[in-house]
């Protein structure tokens, strides 16, 4: 395991140009009801599928308008997408673990790593995705206790998570796995402070990551840098590297941690 702490800003490539907005889809136009009781999964997924840009450098915007609470099960994000939760709007995850199908194995762990439940918001092999808007994502598990991650990007590129409140995750809140070009800026992340494994942000075999100006109040690590476990991590052989963590406020959390799963190494982190 190699950990190098250095100030090497010029090595960071964290500012890809944002694609041009081309079209806008409001989820209520697809049948989503903001009453907090009617399941809106299909309507929101239809808006994502309809509005996500399908041409490089062009982007579609999906909007959850305020006021209102939109109850949903797992959602699959797509490339070239700006997903906007307006101030006063909440994307409310279903608080039932059986609603989250098992996720594929993570090769650097040869298994699920902690929880096998799929995440509330999944971005798999996507690029140019922005989660923003000033609203709230509520995982639906105020007592934690294990279960779905809230947001997971896997094998993804050029991702921004900004200006949101992320709360009540059952497990890791934001999991960045084997991804690159990630910005997590200006969010409030809060889970039960007595509940373990509700990390704020987990950087896992990912590179070119910038975590800044977040308020993180969780029952475990505020930010954790990981890269796989034991022989599986060494075989996957993908370090976490070129990471900037700055100007974050940690309350009741473990601050910044390296590990405990670090078999792939970590390089140029500061």
Instruction: Say which residue, 104 or 21, is predicted with more confidence.
Output: 104
Q: What is the DSSP letter of 220?
A: S
Q: How far apart are CA 270 and CA 254, in angstroms?
A: 17
Are the CB atoms for 213 and 184 separated by under 8 Å? no
Torsion angle in degrees (nearest 10) through CA of 182, 183, 188, 190: 20
pLDDT band at 1 (very low <50, low <70, confident <90, very high): very low
**Nearest residue to 162 via CA among 137, 183, 138, 136:** 183
What pLDDT is attached to residue 219?
86
* pLDDT average, residue stretch 75-87: 97
Q: What is the pLDDT of residues 218-249, one digit of tens each?
A: 988 999 998 776 677 677 767 889 999 999 99
pLDDT band at 14 (very low <50, low <70, confident <90, very high): very low
Q: How many other C-beta atoms are found inside a 10 Å radius of the C-beta of residue 149?
A: 28
Q: Quickly state the pLDDT bin for 158 (edges 50, 70, 90).
A: very high
Q: How far apart are CA 153 and CA 184, in angstroms?
A: 12
Q: How far is CA 41 from CA 33, 49, 99, 105, 254, in A?
A: 10, 12, 11, 24, 34
Which residue blocks in the chain are alpha helix, DSSP H?
41-51, 230-236
pLDDT-derived band at 266 (thresholds 50, 70, 90) equals low
User: Torsion-angle region of residue 163: left (phi > 0), alpha (psi -120 to 50) or beta?
Assistant: left
Please give the structure tokens belonging to residue 5.
């702490």
**Which DSSP category does 29 fall into?**
G
Q: Between 147 and 3, where is the model more confident?
A: 147
Taking 80 as the threshold, does the pLDDT of residue 8 lie above it? no
Q: What's the pLDDT tens digit per position in 185-197? A: 999 999 977 777 8
CA atoms within 13 A on the CB side of 73: 11
Tell me the average pLDDT across 188-212.
91
**CA 40, 66, 83, 23: dihedral to nearest 10 degrees?**
100
Task: Determine the Cα–Cα distance for residues 60 and 48; give it in Å rounded to an integer.
Answer: 8
**Which has more confidence, 112 or 220?**
220
In the chain, % of residues over pLDDT 70:
83
Residue-level pLDDT at 12: 45
Which DSSP string do the residues of 74-134 spell out, in sequence order?
A: -EE--SSEEEEE-TTEEEEE-S-GGGSPBPPPBTTTTB-SS--BPPSEEEES-EEEEEESS
The pLDDT assigned to 6 comes to 33
Record the pTM: 0.88
What residues contact 161, with CB distance under 8 A and at least 6 apart? 130, 131, 132, 151, 174, 182, 183, 184, 185, 187
**Confidence (pLDDT) at 59:** 85
60, 81 Cβ separation under 8 angstroms = yes
Domains of the chain from N-terminus onward:
25-264 (2.160.20.10)
């Amino acid at each position: 395991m190699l950990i190098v702490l250095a100030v090497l800003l010029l090595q960071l490539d964290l500012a890809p140009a944002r694609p041009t907005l081309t079209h806008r889809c409001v989820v209520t136009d697809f049948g989503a009801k903001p009453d907090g009781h009617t399941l809106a999964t299909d309507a929101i997924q239809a808006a994502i599928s309809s509005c996500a840009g399908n041409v490089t450098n062009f982007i579609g915007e999906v909007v959850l308008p305020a006021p209102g609470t939109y109850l949903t099960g797992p959602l699959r994000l797509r490339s070239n997408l700006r997903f906007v939760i307006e101030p006063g709007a909440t994307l409310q995850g279903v608080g039932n673990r059986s609603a989250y199908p098992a996720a594929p194995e993570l090769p650097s762990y040869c298994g699920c790593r902690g929880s096998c439940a799929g995440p509330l918001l999944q971005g798999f092999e996507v690029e140019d995705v922005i989660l923003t808007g000033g609203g709230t994502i509520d995982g639906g598990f105020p007592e934690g206790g294990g279960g779905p991650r809230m947001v997971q990007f896997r094998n993804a590129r050029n991702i921004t998570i900004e200006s949101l409140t992320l709360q009540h995750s059952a497990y890791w809140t934001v999991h960045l796995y084997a991804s690159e070009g990630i910005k997590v800026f200006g969010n409030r992340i809060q889970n039960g402070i007595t509940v373990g494994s509700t990390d704020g942000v987990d950087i896992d075999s990912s590179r070119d990551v910038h975590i800044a100006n977040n308020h993180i109040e969780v029952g475990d690590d505020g930010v954790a840098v990981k890269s796989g476990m034991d022989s599986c991590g060494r075989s996957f052989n993908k370090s976490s590297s070129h990471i900037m963590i700055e100007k974050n406020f940690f309350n009741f959390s473990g601050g910044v941690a390296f590990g405990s799963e670090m078999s792939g190494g970590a390089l140029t982190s500061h």
